Structure 1
């Protein structure tokens, strides 16, 4: 096999950016169109055995053709699948000297579900590349589990897993944990017990997104693909920023999602939550495609900003010690001129001293304070 021109790897990176651009548009539409999302969910078997969005055109062609975002994604995905299969069949797996191309190849091959047989053949080449330290073990594990899961086989490495209530929840059937750990150890991945604390959001193989150490270390630093050049989704106009007079944005960490849902259920009328992140859950919704990776994080961040902007108050209830994201949301609310209530005992921040920030003893007193603040304001 001859050495490819560097443009072959550059083309893969560009193609991955285009694919992510189209995927972001689809996920944005689904997150803001509940009727369409319900139709897509039904076609993709959510939540029983979730199928990837790449298979949607073959399951609901009429709906795909009638929706601009889905039609565009289907076209881009088909073209990307053909190109990545041709490139990898011709040149093999990108070498360690091109880490961004390896990430792009993984991403595009991960989404090549319509050509499962060809992909499985390429997996053998990738396994050989891993043996010679030319492939990241996470790439190999995620691709293998995706291929097996869509064939109705057990996961070999247990990579499609999300944590709910501090327990791992596998999206697809998985072999016995002892066997999974043996397989993971063989290719240099941490055990499931070591890895799952990082699995509170959709899994990507990028080191920054999944920071459990890989042992032995990967042959080169894994590069993150640059964000797709797509317009930021906007779900409201500036005139609507203060339209929800009783809207409360509930701020917490992903690992506290279930607890914050219980807080939302306890909110007394007329309070209502504006925080859509609470339901942006890959276990149950196709607008949260579990393998969307970078674009799903982009979408979630933009939805949070929009939801803070249209709320009248932010209530911070970060139970977990890691609360950098919550602190950022508090800062965002203050920048919009929204009052903030922080539950006492939560991680403290420099915003505590500001007059628009109230510290409450517990969640009950925080909800009561929110009720008084918004009722008085109305």
Structure 2
């Protein structure tokens, strides 16, 4: 689950990570009031959306008068911010973060994530802060400093010092950096985070370290332990279909193509999309109905698929392991009948009771195309989509 910057900074502060003074607002008058309360002569107005690249897209603006604060808030609130991470529709701006300005001496990068290769939390740091870390890693991978945290002993002081010295810090700055990294790791561990990122982490003209930006993602699977964190979810920043899918226990991601996929198992779903691409089609979604797919879940999956106006054909690819193919076939038939699916539906079944499942589809009298094997299914659904488009 993604958090807004202002939410992440509130949590940072609770764990002893220094952040600039700021206030979240939802209206232009509140923005002016926040700037007055913060004091000073210049402020930063930041659009609160779940996407990176806000500054380049005009979502982070430096202002130097109350009139400009109000005008900027009026311009941003209610609009959509389009960045390289949002796609063309962009994300709606309903909240702003008003912050005091900081005299910056250096910009650094600091991040933590779960590294699947080492099965440990990895701390990353780089002297090139304020830039896209992916671009830095591609151009100069040696610039990325890393320390893997052993799960049994946790973050060690020498690891913080290694990173600090690698960033060119010294003296009191090393001690402040060690405290900051320690706070971030406690936050990461106690809140079951999957990603923490500070870009930039700035060294001020006074020699202080501040988290000028904050990104925090929390593992959805751990939210049952963090009810207060779950309450911070902002549904306006999520795709409507993806939100509906989550409510019904489905894993759904919207894509740009016109061939909808309904598959049980993430790996099989990826392979299905690859085959569709290989045979000249474009997937409209990633949809994993899970290993315990039921008739009700299949019906909800069809509703999700049909809510996408660009879909021209549907491929159902089910491997009946935990759930028998005949039960899946019954669910498909019921869903097609109840929802009145008019688009071409290609079904590939394999696994337990596959013959019974195919027989049910054949005897249903519905216009469901049975496929023998994944390649045959991909070819048939790509052709069906072409015919529907023409």
> TM class by shorter-chain length?
0.3 to 0.5
Between Structure 1 and Structure 2, the one with more helix by share is 1
TM-score, structure 2 as length reference: 0.34
TM-score, structure 1 as length reference: 0.35
Which structure's relative contact order is higher, taking Cα pairs within 8 Å and 6+ residues apart?
1
Larger radius of gyration: 2
